[in-house]
């Protein structure tokens, strides 16, 4: 398992240290080191990220406010020199909280906690046979059968996915969007954004690089734009 990470800290030495710790850890992959929450937003808009190490005390936008502004699937580990922020960190569902100054042993303890979390999420995946036209999903203590043709799109919400269907209410299930993407048939399911997979057979309208499903507008991010445009070009008359 490889966990894709970004580090965020406005202090250059602290940022260098924690980024070095990420690079040193075999199961972590450093995607970017960010000097501010605003720089991190830019990285998130163009990259798939699983885990963020976020400093709390930053100018302009604090780490707490930055995380509150997100509605994504990334997990958070906060880093700060102020112990009184621990409660605030857990209120936004942070995986852990590391008090500065810290060494690699403390960092690794938190990283292993994140690794365990992602391993548990991966175990709670759906069973999909690409030869069939349906899948089984664990949802609300039940196992539900879903026909693939009934799916409009799938949205990643932190450790859950929301499967949006044509004529039924959405189904929520504990799993990662990445693990579900790997099991769906790629000939008509495509990831178009770090938080969205769409059923290509259900795409009816595209407006300004956004796929329209009723009142929902799904953005096609730069990371997936070329692949999606290649699909469109095959269908143009």
- DSSP reduced 3-state for 120: helix
In angstroms, the Cα distances linking 94 to 44, 58, 64, 201, 213 are 18, 17, 10, 37, 32
| Structural domains of the chain in order of their starting residue, each with its CATH number | 3-123 (3.40.50.2300), 127-235 (2.40.50.1020)
> Which candidate, 88, 74, 83, 80, places its Cα nearest to that of 58?
80
**Strand ranges (E), 43-166:** 51-55, 75-80, 96-99, 127-128, 134-139, 142-147, 151-157, 160-165
Q: Which of 78-87, 193-202, 218-227 has the lowest mean pLDDT?
A: 78-87
Task: State the pTM of this model.
Answer: 0.61
Q: Is the pLDDT of residue 123 over 70?
A: no
Q: Which residue would you say has higher pLDDT here, 64 or 54? A: 54
CA angle (86, 13, 51) in 5-degree steps: 50
Segment of 101-110, 143-152, 156-165, 226-235 carrying the highest mean pLDDT: 101-110
pLDDT number for residue 66: 80
Instruction: List, in sequence order, every residue forming a beta bridge with 142; answer none if it has no partner.
Output: 139
pLDDT number for residue 71: 59
**What percentage of the chain exceeds 90 in pLDDT?**
36
**What percentage of the chain exceeds 70 in pLDDT?**
89
- Tokens representing 92 are 């936004």
């Amino acid at each position: 398992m490889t966990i894709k990470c970004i580090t965020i800290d406005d202090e250059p030495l602290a940022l260098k240290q924690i980024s070095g710790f990420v690079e040193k850890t075999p199961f972590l992959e450093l995607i970017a080191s960010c000097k501010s929450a605003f720089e991190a937003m830019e990285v998130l808009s163009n990259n798939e990220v699983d885990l963020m190490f976020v400093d709390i005390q930053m100018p302009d936008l604090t780490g707490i406010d930055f995380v509150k502004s997100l509605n994504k699937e990334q997990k958070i580990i906060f880093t700060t020199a102020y112990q009184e922020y621990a409660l605030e960190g857990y209120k936004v569902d942070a995986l852990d909280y590391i008090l500065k100054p810290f060494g690699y042993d403390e960092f690794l303890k938190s990283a292993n906690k994140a690794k365990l979390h992602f391993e548990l999420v991966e175990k709670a995946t759906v069973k999909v046979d690409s030869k069939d036209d349906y899948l089984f999903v664990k949802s609300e203590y039940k196992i539900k059968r879903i026909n693939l043709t009934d799916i409009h799109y799938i949205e990643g919400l932190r450790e859950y996915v929301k499967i949006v269907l044509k004529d039924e209410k959405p189904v929520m299930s504990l799993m990662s969007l990445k693990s579900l993407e790997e099991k769906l048939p790629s000939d008509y399911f495509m990831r178009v954004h770090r938080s969205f997979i769409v059923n290509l057979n259900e795409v009816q309208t595209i407006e300004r690089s956004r796929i329209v499903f009723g009142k929902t507008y799904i953005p096609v991010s730069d990371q997936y734009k070329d692949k999606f445009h290649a699909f469109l070009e095959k269908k143009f008359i």
